[in-house]
Structure 1
Amino acid sequence: MLDIMLPHYGELTLLKIAVESIAAQTDERWQLTVMDDNPVERDTGIPEYFAALGHPRVRYLRNPRNLGVTGNFQQGVDLATAPFMIIMGCDDVMLPRYVERVHALIDAHPEAVLVQPGVEVIGADGAVVRTLADTTKRRVYAPRFAGTVTMAGEELAVSLLRGNWLYFPSLVWRTEEIKAVGFDPDLKVIQDLKLILQLVTRGGTLVADDDVVFQYRRHGESLSASSAVTGNRFSEAREFFLAAAARMDAHGWPRAGRAARWHLSSRIHALTMLPAAARQRSTGSVRVLTRYAFGNPRPR
């Protein structure tokens, strides 16, 4: 079985699309747990939807208190029981062959700790889109391959620290490995990269595939997008990358340490956010973004 853990924070419309895409899988070796982190007093209609759904492999949980994004991610890890799991976005879409394809990849690569299936990006309306961020991921930072590729060790760490080209909500994780590490509760928007790097330094292997079976929804209302405009994301990112550089150096991976220290893709991302911050006349955000983009890569 594949554990599909679905943290939820928003409204019902996109959640229904996500759940229905899971129910339409060609391979039935999956079980879904929805973890609703909406405030308890809010009338969302979501509990009623799942009560009416009555699917034998769908479990709905409503958190008695708000856990926040990282807390809800960790709850998904804690609740998982299948050998492999996914922490899916509540506005994303599984194409019908997702479960079938990832099971085939796991069978072909039993050593895999992480599986990155093929992904296409959709907008708020569900149409496939091409964004600057995703084009850069694919053409600049992602390794070039056809079919399937396996990566591990310092090569993988360097690749991800130059630019994180993975799509977190589509990733399949080996459950025992992610349970052994867990999410850092102090991080809000870069917690996935820290966890992945920890798995890599533990010897984990990534399998990436170009068969598109997942749709990642990108729109401007996400926590990561809003925190990028305000500059909050980059305050967190600077501390993370400098700490990652120290960990990579201590691990004996100097090239990965240098990649973390320079974190060029993250600096470029900050530059792309400057016009939006300027339009909002947020002097503080402009200052944070500028300092991050052009600042010294080494700690003071």
Structure 2
Amino acid sequence: MPFSASDRIGGPLSRVIDIMLPYYGDVDLMKAAVESVISQTEAGWRLVVIDDGFPDAEPARWFGEMTDPRIIYLRNEANLGANGNYRKAVDLVESEWFVMMGADDLMEPDYLRTVSRAIDDLDVDIIQPGVDVVDEHGRSVRPLADRLKKILSFTAADGGTVLEGETVVASLLRANWAYFPSLVWRTATVRRVGFRNGLDVVQDLALILDILAGGGRMAILPERVFRYRRHSGSDSSVRALDGRRFDEERRFFSEESDRFAARGWGRAARAGRWRITSRLNAASLIPKAITKGGSPRALAAHVFG
């Protein structure tokens, strides 16, 4: 049953934000993600979980026992894959703003209240709140990739900083510091632009760049109200060790470099051509690929190719 502002729980609501949760993976981590939504101090949310056919009956049983009308559980008849499930999630959004949350990430209790204030105050299409990175055990970690992102990103002012144009595009191509599951999106903009076909790893960055290249605006907030989980069992980690992640990244950055060169955005074109953090990320994984049965040769080709 959809949840509307007339069904409010608690204080007055200015809006309902849809939280779309495409799911395939660890059941306990998914439950923790859902509990973090339920624990929000802002009541204006609708949670839609889209199970992409994970082979476990526990999610259906668990959601079947819930009585909160704001929570909707759906299960795909056939596995759509990450890109397909994201597209389905966007089609199911009903509110003006939504979050495409990861099934292993966590919202801090004030997440929705914080981003709602930004929606009210800033005329933007994407909102990036502050993020803490945690491992599979919930412990704060600072991997090399995230340390580089922090160095190469922007500092958010009190009340938020609005970014647009080539400067932010070049920055994101140097180091994709946007944490996709934590972002809040304007629904109309995402539906107008859409996810690109054929991308499984960088579809999030592609969507952000397409929105910004089309004149969109992005806000960054200083409040750290989201916990982004990195762990060795994630799909992106597996794809990284065997080189598949970087095959896709290499093609993507080359195409983006050509696109922005044709547009006359030289800084963005150079950032795409050099793909510095992508190369550094591959280089940092070579020792692990050697010991864990990955493909160090493929990683080295990405670094030096």
Q: Same fold (TM over 0.5)?
A: yes
Partner residue of 1:18 out of 33, 54, 59 = 33
The percent identity for this pair of structures is 43
Partner of 2:129: 117
Q: Which amino acid aligns with 2:44?
A: R
1:135 corresponding residue in structure 2:
147
**1:44-95, Cα deviation, whole Å (9 max, x unpaired):** 3111111101211011100010001111111111111211111000011111
Amino acid at match of 2:96: P
In the alignment, structure 1 residue 292 sits paired with structure 2 residue 302: yes
Pairwise CA distance, 1:280:
3.5
Q: Does 1:66 align with 2:76?
A: no
Residue identity matched to 1:161: L
Q: Which residue of 2 aligns with 1:106?
A: 119
Report which stretch shifted further, 256-265 or 119-128. Answer: 119-128
One-letter code aligned to 2:260 = M
Contact preservation (8 Å) 1:12, 1:44: no
Tell me the CA shift for residue 251 of structure 1. 2.3
The structural deviation recorded for 1:281 is 5.0
Distance 1:96 1:287, change over 3 A: same
Give structure 1 stretches of 5+ with no counterpart.
296-300
Alignment of 1:1-300 (within 5 A): 1-39=16-54, 42-109=55-122, 111-139=123-151, 141-147=152-158, 148-282=160-294, 285-295=295-305
1:50–1:281 CA distance, 2 compared to 1 (3 A): closer
Residues of 2 paired with 1:261 and 1:131: CA distance? 24
CA distance in 1, matches of 2:133, 2:244: 25
CA distance in 2, matches of 1:287, 1:19: 40
Cα deviations by residue, 1:17-59 (Å, 9 ceiling, x for unpaired): 11111011111111110000124xx333111111101211011
- Distance, in Å, in 2 between the alignment partners of 1:38 and 1:217 is 22
SS at match of 2:21: strand
Secondary structure at the aligned position of 1:238 is classed as helix
Counterpart amino acid of 1:195? L
- The one-letter amino acid paired with 2:113 is E
Q: For residues 281 and 68 of structure 1, do their structure 2 counterparts lie closer, same or farther at Cα, with a shift above 3 Å needed? A: closer
Runs of 5+ unmatched residues, structure 2: 1-15
Contact 1:11/1:44 (<8 A) preserved: no
Q: TM-score if structure 1 supplies the norm length? A: 0.93
* Aligned partners of 2:53 and 2:77 also within 8 Å: no
Contact kept? 2:148, 2:277, Cα under 8 Å: no
1:163-203 Cα deviation digits (max 9, x unpaired): 10111100011101111121123111111111110000111
Partner Cα separation in structure 1 for residue 43 and residue 21 of structure 2:
17
* More deviation, 151-160/285-294: 285-294
Aligned length: 289
CA contact (8 A) 1:83 1:175 kept: yes
CA contact (8 A) 1:34 1:60 kept: yes
What SS class does the counterpart of residue 49 from structure 1 fall into?
helix
The answer (yes or no) to whether the contact 2:148–2:175 under 8 Å persists in 1 is no
Where does structure 1 differ by over 4 angstroms across 4 or more consecutive aligned residues? none
Q: RMSD of the TM alignment (CA)?
A: 1.2
Deviation at 1:11, TM superposition (A): 3.1
